[in-house]
Amino acid sequence: MKKILLLFFAFVFSLSFSSFDVASAESSQNSFKLLKITNGTTISFAYLFPVNSYAFENVDSVSYEGFKYYLKNTASLLSDSYEEKAEGIDGTSVSKPNYYSDYDSVGFILKFDCIEAFNEYFDVEDSEPVVPKKTGVFVRKSTYNIAFPFSSSSATALINLMKNTVIMWGTTFNKDVSTIVSLYDHSTFVYQLASTTKQARSENMSESGGLYYNTFERTFDELAADEPITIYYLEINRAFWYLTAIVLVVVAITIVLLWHKFSTKHKKQN
């Protein structure tokens, strides 16, 4: 168990980045989720672990609530480590693990009240910057290729962590957990970026409840390919538009002057 937690911590702290009461866009079941939400100046990260409530349909309510309690305790092992790092960084807070019905998941939220707190927490200044690929003249398209935040090793650690939680719950409540444990072998992994603006775009962009979502989901087997995700920004090249407008005005004035000169000369000849 300790090795699993250390693997997960390594995954978490290798990541380079309002309350959490919004519904997700196309939230998938049986998915481990990392959600980044930007709302004005605040930035929030939600770490969510699937409950898979549908697998507990024949389980009594007391035992089911007991499972969520066990899962909250598991999540607290992780949230406590975040909280410890957040101490001394103004504008940073970590919530206690909770159950979020919109996602059918137990998780916690790491919140930054300003970009300065975010940069200090994740040591952004010490990180290697991501250089965008820029294309376009009148409208510039800046494309960023960013590493998907789950890897095969971190996914394996998460799956084993969930399986151990289910097994401990089954031992306590005397339940057969084989079916529930096997669910996690088919989990998917979701990275979702949500914002009040649609500056960041992707091929997987959608809108729900006033938020714009870029959602990336992969199976465990797909993680082995280690393919980056692609985000792009569109920006009007105002300088080029102004230059073009000036050139067009100069051309138009030149044409008018030439026409006037030609017309005047033609009249004199007549």
Q: Provide the residue-wise pLDDT of the chain in tens; the chain has 270 residues.
A: 433 333 333 333 333 333 344 444 455 689 999 999 988 789 999 999 999 999 999 999 999 999 999 999 999 988 999 999 999 899 999 999 999 998 999 999 999 999 999 999 988 765 555 666 666 556 677 888 889 999 999 999 999 999 999 999 999 999 999 999 999 999 999 999 988 888 788 888 888 888 889 999 999 999 999 999 998 877 766 665 566 677 777 777 878 777 767 777 666 665
The angle subtended at Cα 102 by Cα 97 and Cα 105, nearest 5°, is 40
Gap between the Cα atoms of 6 and 171, Å rounded: 24
Please give the model's pTM, rounded to 2 decimal places: 0.75
- Do both 23 and 131 map to the same domain? yes
- For residues 164 and 260, membership in a common domain is answered with no
**One domain, residues 119 and 170:** yes
**Nearest partner of 165 among 183, 149, 153, judged by Cα:** 183
Total domains in the chain come to: 2
DSSP per residue, 111-124: EESSHHHHHHHHTG
- Domain of 267 in residue numbering reads as 239-270
Question: Do 156 and 260 have their domain in common?
Answer: no
